[in-house]
Amino acid sequence: MKNKKKGILSLLLVLVVIGLCTFTTLVGFTKQHKGSAKNIKLGLDLAGGVSITYEAVGDTPSAEELADTRNMLQKRAEVYSTESSVVTSGDRRITIDIPGVSNAEEVLQSLGKEGSLDFVAEDDMSFENGEDGSQVPKYTKTVCTGKDVKNAEANTQQNEISKNKEYVVQLKFKSKGTKKFADATEAAYPTNKKIYIVYDGKVLSAPAVQAHITSGEAVISGSFKTYDDADELASMIRIGALPIQLKEVQSQVVGAQLGLNAINSSLIAGAIGFGLVVLFMIVFYRLPGVASSIALVLYLVLMLVVLNVLNVTLTLPGVAGIILNIGMAVDANVIIFTRIKEELAKGKTVQSAIKLGFDKALSAIVDGNVTTLIAAFVLYIKGSGTIKGFATTLAIGIILSMFTSLVVTKTILKAMYALGVDKASYFGTEKKRNTISFVQNKKKFFAFSGVMVAACIIMLIVNAQGRCGGNILNYGLDFSGGTTYDITFNNDTKIDDTLKKDVEKLFMEKSGSSDVVISEVAGANALSVKTVEISEEKRAELTKSLEDTYKVGEKNIQNQNISSSVSDEMRSDAVIAVIIAAICMLLYIWFRFKDIVFAGSAVLAILHDLVFVMLIYAVSKISVGNTFIACMLTIAGYTINATIVIFDRIRENLGNKKTDEQLTVLVNESITQTLTRSINTSITTAIMVIMLAVLGVESVRDFAIPLLGGIVIGAYSSVCITGTLWFAIKRVTKTGTKKAA
C-alpha cells in the first residue's frame, strides 16, 4: 500500500541533505568557513606552497647517507602533506616542496632538524636538572635508534581489562631492530621496567615493558587521551633521526604550477561531462535516471565535504580523478536499473521490480567495490607519497558511490513510487537480445589480445634501444629527475600567462620534451622551471636565449640537476602494494565465488588491461609520472568491477550445468544479459574522460588519454575475454565432459 506522506518526507529528507552539503561546500560554517570547498587543501600544482633547500654541513655525505636523509625528509614532509616532493640536487643538497603551506618558518624547525631518536633502557637512564629547571635525560647506551624503526602508526584497540576503546601507537622494527628490542624487553619484562623513547634530548614516552617481544611489533598504550596524541607520538617516532646535519640555504613560497585557466578548464570539462551523463541516464533509464542524477549531485557534494573533513590534499590529477569517479559512480546505478528492467520484462509489478532489482544487484555491487576497497587499503598501508593520497581519494569515492547508489537512489525511487509515479513505462523494459556467440569466437579474442601483448613487449624493447633515451617508457620528472632553473627577471618585465607560455615553449624546444613545470616565486619577480635533464651544451644555449630574450643577467639564472621525486623506496613500495593487493583480491574473489577459476581469471583480466595501457604509453611517449600510477590503479579498479558483474551473472545462472555445451550456452547468455550494463557504464565513464581530454590542459590530457584507452580496453576485456577465459580454464581443469563446438 502506498504511503504518500512517507514518500514526501523521504524526498524532502534527501533534498535537505543535498542542500546542507551544498551549503557546506559553498559557504561552510563559522567565520573560518570550515567545511567549504575553498578550505580543501590544494597541491603544489593548484595552489603552490613552500620550497626549502638544505645543504649538508661538513664533509660531503656518501650517496647512501644522502638517500637515507632524503627518504626521512620525505616522511617528515608527509606529516604536512602526502603530496610533498623531496629531491636531491647534486651531492650535497636536498629540496623539499610542501603544498598548502605559505609560511616557511612554520616547517623549518622540524624538517631539517638533525635531532636523534633513541630507545633507552631504564637501567641506563638518569636525569639531571637543566638550566630552565626541567629534567634532562642522560645516557651513554641505547637499546636501538630511529634507524631501527620500520614504521609507527596511531590506532585504536579494546582495553583488555576495562573493555573500553583506547588509543595506542603500533611500532614495527626492522630486522636488526627486532633483535635489539627483543633482548631489551627480555631483560626488562620480569620487573616491568620502562624503555624510554627520547627525541632530541626530550623524553617522548616511557612505556613499561609488559611482555618479552620477539616479533618486532610492539604497542604503546595507556597514556593517550585522544587519537591526535597517539598520532603525534607516532609521527615523531616515524620521522626518526637524520643521518647527516643540514643547514637551510634557501626558502621561498612558490605559486601554483598550473595557472587558473588549467583549473577552470578542468571544472568546465567536469560540468559539461556531468550534464551529458545526466542527460544519458534520463534518456536511457527514464525515471530511475532522474533518481540516479539526484544521487550523483549528492555524491559530488559529499565528496568535497569529506575531502575537507579528512584534510586530503587535492591535486589536478585528483580533480580529474573525482570527475572520473562521477562517471564510475553511475556503474552501480546501471547494474540496478538493468536488473529492474529485466524484472519488468518478466511481468513483475513496478514495486516488486524495484525490490528485486536492488536485491539481485547487491552482490555484484558489493563484491566489485569491496575488491577495489581492498586494493585501496593495501595501497594506503604500503604506499607512500601520492600513492597514499590516491588510495585515500579512491576509497572515499567507492564508499560514497555505494551509499548514494544503494541508499539514496533506492530512497528516491521508492518515494516517487509512493507519490504515484508507478507506471512501468516510466522505468522502461529490457528488450530481448539475441544471444551472442562469445565462446565460439574466443580464439579470435585471444589471438587479438596476444598480438597486442606482443606489440607492447616489442615497443618496450624498441624504446629501451633509444626511442625513449634508453628507457622502456618516457619517464618524466617524477621518475627520472631533471634540471631546475631559477630565473629572476628585471623589474620592468611583467610575469603573466603570456610570459609563462613563451618560457615554456623555449624550454620545450631546448629540452626536446613537453614535460615542463613552471611556478612563480612569491615576493620576487622570478620563475622556477623544472624540465627533463638537459646537457651542458643545451643548458648554455638555453641560458643565452634567456639572457637575449628577456635581458636577464647571467647571475640571475641559476640551474642544477635534481633527482626524481619518486625514490627507489617509493617505487618498490608501490610495486609491493600492487602485488599484495592483487593477491588479496584473488583470495577475496576465490572466497566469495567458491571457485579459484573465477579469481584467477579476474586477476589475469587486470594484467591484460594494464599491458594494453602500457602499450598506449609506450607508443604515444606520454610522460610517465605520478599520474601513470594513478591511471594504472584506476584501470585495475575499473576492470575488476566490470569483471565481477559478468562473473556474478555466470554464478547466478550456473546451477548444475557441467557439460561443455551447457557451459558454452551459460557463458554466452550471461555476457549477453550484462552487455547493456557493460556498454552503458563504459559510455558514461568515457564521456567524463573525453571532456577532460578535449578541454583539459596538457598534464590532464596526458592523464586522460591513457585512461580513455584503458576504459575502452576494459570494456573489451570484460565482454570478450573474462567470461571466455573462465570457460577455457574451466574446460581444461575439468574432466569427463564433451568438448564444445
Closest CA to 79 of 153, 173, 149: 153
CA distances from 562 to 77, 93, 480 (A): 18, 9, 9
Catalogue all structural domains in the chain, each as residue range(s) with its CATH number: 49-109 (3.30.70.3400), 117-239 (3.30.1360.200), 260-453+568-733 (no CATH), 482-489+498-562 (3.30.70.250)
Q: What is the pLDDT, as a whole number, of residue 261?
A: 60
- Under the banding of pLDDT at 50, 70 and 90, the label for residue 262 is low
CA 150 to chain centroid, in Å, comes to 23
- Under the banding of pLDDT at 50, 70 and 90, the label for residue 157 is confident
CA 199 to chain centroid, in Å, comes to 32
Task: Please write the tens of the pLDDT for every residue from 427-440.
Answer: 877 777 789 999 99
Residue 587 corresponds to which cell in the numbers above? Answer: 583470495
Q: What is the pLDDT, as a whole number, of residue 615?
A: 94
Q: Taking residues 280-299, report their average pLDDT.
A: 89
Give, to the nearest 10 degrees, the angle between helix 409-418 and helix 4-26: 140
Closest CA to 19 of 305, 262, 337, 265: 305
Q: Is the pLDDT of residue 669 over 90?
A: yes
Q: Taking residues 226-235, report their average pLDDT.
A: 83
Q: What is the pLDDT, as a whole number, of residue 367?
A: 87
Q: Is the pLDDT of residue 204 over 60?
A: yes
When mean pLDDT is compared across 9-13, 33-37, 446-450, the lowest value belongs to: 33-37
Looking at the chain, the whole-number percentage of residues with pLDDT higher than 70 is 88
Residue 383 corresponds to which cell in the numbers above? Answer: 604506499
When mean pLDDT is compared across 410-424, 601-615, 692-706, the lowest value belongs to: 692-706
Mean pLDDT of the chain: 82
Give, to the nearest 10 degrees, the angle between helix 596-620 and helix 626-654: 150
Q: Is the pLDDT of residue 735 over 50?
A: no
Task: Please write the tens of the pLDDT for every residue from 312-324.
Answer: 777 766 666 676 6
Task: Please write the tens of the pLDDT for every residue from 372-418.
Answer: 888 788 877 776 666 677 778 878 888 888 899 889 999 998 888 88
- Under the banding of pLDDT at 50, 70 and 90, the label for residue 114 is low
- Under the banding of pLDDT at 50, 70 and 90, the label for residue 171 is very high
- Under the banding of pLDDT at 50, 70 and 90, the label for residue 50 is confident
Residue 543 corresponds to which cell in the numbers above? Answer: 641560458
Q: Is the pLDDT of residue 527 over 70?
A: yes
Q: What is the pLDDT, as a whole number, of residue 438?
A: 93
CA distances from 132 to 128, 135, 137, 138, 205 (A): 11, 9, 14, 16, 21
* Cβ atoms < 10 Å from Cβ of 727: 23
